[in-house]
Every structure is written in structure tokens, then in C-alpha cells.
Amino acid sequence: MTPARLFSARSRTMFEGVGHWALSMQAGLKPSQLPPRQVSPRLLSVGCADHAKHQELPGKKPLSEKKLKRYFVDCRRVLVCGGNGGAGASCFHSEPRKEFGGPDGGDGGNGGHVILRVDQRVKSLSSVLSRYQGFNGEDGGSKNCFGRSGAVLYIQVPVGTLVKEGNRVVADLAHLGDQYIAALGGAGGKGNRFFLANDNRAPVTCTPGQPGQQRVLHLELKTVAHAGMVGFPNAGKSSLLRALSNARPAVAAYPFTTLKPHVGIVHYEGHQQIAVADIPGLIRGAHQNRGLGSAFLRHIERCRFLLFVVDLSLSEPWTQVDDLKYELEMYEEGLSERPHAIIANKIDLPEARANLSQLRDHLGQEVIALSAVTGENLEQLLLHLKVLYDAYLEAERGRGREPLKW
């Protein structure tokens, strides 16, 4: 008789379209070989969903876009240490039938430098660690073998990184390809071959390698963009950036303010791209660092032209423009005089249309009235943004400088 197929009551093998299986292992075995009896054998599950669930590989789930934005860092304190130099060797040449071979100790290798380098793919200082140690040089060897120098350690930083040592600015990495030597590597030591002289034919002296340079640097990121949207909290800057580009800053139906700047790209024909930055909302007294004002205002310094976003639904909206220009001027002289445009947001609200004519009369200049929610009159803003960008390109080329390319 053909023995029955054995099934383990403890196995978790699953079959589609089969009910619950629980066969005993007693068939075909001697009584002495029988395993202990199972009081209630565990039934096998046949659900496809459960099977797929058990087959999932363990690992970290990818972070959502909202969580990734929480890790935006624009300030970092870094301890950088250059690599130590290798020690020189003290030895003498050894060869048969050559009694006085002379010194042949080689020099040690130099320590590696630590260099800050601009990388366009990096958008935040969140990937920068708090401490970096350069690679050490190798020690010298016999037969006049020099030690290998330590490799250069590169730290990738975003465009617009400001490097400070104490209160002094030591580097401004504002362009692609910019580099700054943060810490020098130590010089390698000298072997006894170096000290060979006419009056000292058998030197035994060798020197150790020099330690690498140690520095404490403060990195500050100033967002680099063509246009910067400036306004008070809840003026609709984040909603406007979502309407203009594919950026997705957080928005909600209740009042709150953005804490980190966001950059969106506006595409035009001819493969032209304009970077628009959503600067966190300012408050009155921001130039005195009220409400994290200094942390927000420094992101405006690198913007080539500004977009003043005004909440048209509030009474006397022209006072918002005056207060914003005052805060910018008090923070940095001439910052409020950069090319700009006035954007009156929330035109879809009934009380906003009544304030539009008064705003234009008080300012005496063109005002772009639009609605970031409904998309009303967004085309006028896109056309005016292109005009400001073309004027910026012409001014930069006239000065012999390369325009910013995102």
C-alpha cells in the first residue's frame, strides 16, 4: 500500500481553494517512532491576504513628503578634524655582504583634508553630520618607501551655504562648484633617511606625523531662488506656490504658518525654469528676531526679486506692504528696493473686491489681484514673473556675471 502523504500540523504552508487541513504524522510509522499526540492541531489558514502579509520583507517604510519636510535643516554646528600625518620610519638597509647599507626609512604620508563642496542635489543641511574626521596618512616604511597620503574627505552642502567661524564669515558657497577647505590635514613625519648628512652617516632620528587641523564651523543655509514670496502669516503664500508649481507645502482650512521655506519650479517654454521660494511668514518686529524673524529673513537675501503677497480680505491691506518693506529695510539696507511685484490674494472673497481699488490708490502701482484657491488671474502673475526674470537675466549679463540656473 502506498504510504499517505505526511502533513505537519505545525507547518504554515497555505493552499488556495483548500479548506482547513490537519493530518497526522502517524501513517506509515512504528509506534516507537510516533510523535506526541496533538490535543488540538493548529489549522492552516488559506487566506491570500494573510499569505501576502506574512511574505512582506521587514524594513523601514518610505517617509511621506510631509515627514520629509520636517527634516529641513538650515543651521548646523560642525566639528571638522583633518587627518593626521603618518610617522616617519627609522631603519637601515640590510643586504648580504653589504655591512653599511645606510638609512632607508621613508617619510610618512600627509593627512587628508576636509573640504566643503557644493552639490546641486542637496537641498538641506540635514545630511551634514556634527563631526567629521579626515583620513590619516600611512606610516613610512623601509627601503625608502613613503607612506600613502590620506584621501580627501568631501562634505556635500547645498547652494547658498554660509560658513562661519565664531562671528566671522570665512566662506560663502553661493555657486555650483564652490569649495572650501574646512580643515587641513597634518604633514607626514620624516624618516631617518631625511636626516642623512656628511657629519651623521647613520641617523636614527625620525619624526612623528603632525596632527590635523581642528575647527568648529557654523553652517547657515540661505535659500537660493529667483523669486521670494514675502508676506504675513496666512496670506496664502503656500497655496499660491502649490498653484504655480508642483511643490506641495502644507495647507489647511485653519490658520497656521509655514516654519520651513519651500522652493517650487515654474516651467516656461524653451526649457526655462524659475525657482520661487515660499518664505515663512513674517510678523512686525521680525528684524529684531521676534518670532524667529532672523531665521526667516536670511532666506530672502539670496532672492533676486520679490513677490509681496497681501491678504486682500483684511482691512487696509496697503499697511501690509508698508510693514513688510520696513522689516526688510531694517534687516538689510536696500533689500526692500529690489525688483518686486504686489500680489493681492484671496480675490474670491466678497470683502476682498471692495479693498482692491483702495489698495491700488494708496500704492500707486500695478497690483496683481488673484485667487490661489480658484486659480483666477494666475496667468497675469505668470506673465509678470517672466518679465521680472528676463530683466534679471539682462542685468546679470550686463555685469558680466553668470545668471542663476536652477
Phi-psi region of 221 (alpha: psi -120 to 50; beta: other; left: phi over 0): beta
The secondary structure of 79-136, three-state, reads EEECCCCCCCCCCECCECCECCCCECCCCCCCCCCEEEEECCCCCCCCCCCCEEECCC
**What pLDDT score does 86 carry?**
94
pTM listed for this prediction? 0.66
pLDDT means per 10 residues, the chain with 406 residues, are 40 40 43 47 40 44 49 84 94 82 91 94 87 95 92 93 92 90 95 89 90 95 86 88 86 73 86 87 76 74 89 88 89 88 90 86 88 90 92 88 74
**What pLDDT score does 4 carry?**
42
Same domain as 192, residue 177: yes
Cα–Cα distance, 53 to 290 (Å, whole number): 51
Domain that holds residue 215: 71-222
12 inside domain = no
192 inside domain = yes
The answer to whether residues 311 and 320 touch, using CB atoms and an 8 Å cutoff, is yes
252 inside domain = yes
Residue carrying C-alpha cell 543641511:
125
**What pLDDT score does 293 carry?**
64
8 inside domain = no
Q: Strands 272-278 and 262-268: what pairing?
A: antiparallel
Radius of gyration of the chain (CA): 35
Q: Strands 131-133 and 214-221: what pairing?
A: unpaired
Same domain as 137, residue 239: no
Same domain as 211, residue 356: no
Tally Cβ neighbours within 10 Å of residue 192: 24
| Grid cell in block for residue 397 | 549679463
Same domain as 218, residue 108: yes
Q: How many domains does the chain have?
A: 2
2 inside domain = no
321 inside domain = yes
Q: For the domain that residue 350 is a member of, what is the CATH number?
A: 3.40.50.300
Same domain as 350, residue 292: yes
Same domain as 252, residue 118: no
**What pLDDT score does 28 carry?**
46
Cα–Cα distance, 12 to 6 (Å, whole number): 14
**What pLDDT score does 214 carry?**
96
Q: For the domain that residue 167 is a member of, what is the CATH number?
A: 2.70.210.12
Burial 261-277 (b: 16+ CB within 10 A, else e): bbbbebeeeeeeebbbb
404 inside domain = no
